[in-house]
Amino acid sequence: MDPTIADREPVNTDQGRVSADHGRVGTNRARARPSLLWLLLVPVLLVTGIGTAVALAAVTFAKVVDEALDFGPAGNLPAGKVTVWVAEDDQPERVRLVGPDNADVPLTPDGTPRTVTADGVRWLSAYIATIDKPGEHRVVATGGRAALRVPNQLDTATVRRNGIELPIALATASVTLSIVASAAVLGLRAIGRRPIRRTS
């Protein structure tokens, strides 16, 4: 027997397997850890969801304001005080306010007239009336233009849904998705740090 062969140190095959396994662990860990760039999805979700919610609410309530400022020859009026308006550049010679029973409602000149501009027309508050019977009223003008400031006729259910419920749902969904996305990315990265040992 060759003494040089007998004097050689035995090869540690276990250490070689450990080193190979360690290399495989490092490779698997790198594959399992998602990039932190995925966290950029969080502000995108927040901005998109909350921005859409704010825009939807703004458009809905802007429409409410526009409708509330509408002037027309007739309107369904509640009991109480009401103002009859005349066009400042086209004031009528005579104005009547007719109630739901076709009877004239007494008019009193407005002692402190004010102006409101809507749809390019400058309206002047000319008369005040007291509505005793709620219902459909109309103005009749002779030689000019007169109008009532029509109350908001929007469907309250639509306003509540589009202006309140949907924006809240969108904002809540965007915050929830942002939290889920953050937790998923951070959780996967935490799992990726753990060594994955394989047995051959």
Query: Among candidates 100, 104, 106, which has minimal Cα distance to 134?
Result: 100
Q: What angle do CA 77, 79, 82 make, to 5 degrees?
A: 65
Instruction: Write down the CATH number for the domain with range 71-149.
Output: 2.60.40
Strand residue runs (E) in 36-189: 71-72, 74-77, 80-87, 94-98, 108-109, 115-118, 121-131, 135-142, 146-149
> Whole-model pTM?
0.45
Query: Among candidates 131, 133, 147, 151, which has minimal Cα distance to 95?
Result: 147
Q: What is the residue whose two structure tokens read 């589009």?
A: 162
Per-residue pLDDT of the chain (200 residues; tens, 9 = 90+): 445 544 555 545 454 454 444 444 444 444 456 677 777 777 887 788 788 888 877 776 666 555 555 678 888 888 889 899 999 999 999 999 999 999 999 999 998 998 888 778 899 999 999 999 899 999 999 999 999 886 544 456 666 777 778 888 888 888 888 888 888 877 777 776 655 555 55
Are residues 69 and 116 in contact, defined by beta-carbon separation less than 8 angstroms? yes
Domain positions in the chain: 15-65+156-192, 71-149
